[in-house]
Structure 1
């Protein structure tokens, strides 16, 4: 099957002989991987420490780590905000106290501060703003008092 795929892709068969480690001109200083059973405990510990350090250095990917953190914290924030402000716990079957909303006070305060910020109907907000302007203009006759 592999020969068929190589022929389809236009690759030639490898004509190089297999690598002979016995005839290698560049001999290794140490045998790799070392046989841990032959090493003393101190040598094993040093080897493991060195190997872990090298592995950590090789595994460092700052760009990937940065974006993973950004995505994780974004998801955590979204779930927390959704759970506190929008999720209906009254209908949730996993709620230990059915029919009770645990964040009701916080929701009322939050939506009281935001008001109609997220609504699509502007007629109610214009009427309220207009009524406020009329109240302010009736209370304060001088322009200096308004500012």
Structure 2
């Protein structure tokens, strides 16, 4: 029997035993042959057994991998070189779809569009802008707006504006030109 180690990631710890030497087509179609029972796969242990030679094997593997040339950067996938072919034609032809299929497609498309363009940062930013605008409008209305109630010249915000503008007596117009006791000469 001939032992061949498979390269695919899902078979990384598997040894495949062939009754006859495999052809390249046989290796590529290993899933189909496995289902048909033409060869058996047996699982090996993930961690190698400790032996006197295991350190030498690990060191030689490291040297071999270091000596390999690096792969060049992979190009961007395009329609021509993409190994994963699409199953459906995009966009679908709405003339061929029934009204139920059209509705289902529109719902799915709207949901995907919403998820693709959803941004937590943008939502937080718009919430902060709304908060600042509403707070600013309330402060302006309470402190600086000049309301007239029933034609009276009295403005209820004057007292609040006077207190806020004079910072509770620190910058009172009556005391503007007085010198503070703790001020330098």
- The normalised TM-score by structure 2 is 0.40
Larger Rg: 1 or 2?
A: 2
Structure number having the greater helix percentage: 1
Tell me the TM-score normalised to structure 1 length: 0.48
Query: Between Structure 1 and Structure 2, which shows a larger proportion of strand residues?
Result: 2
Q: Which structure carries more relative contact order (alpha carbon 8 Å, separation 6+)?
A: 2
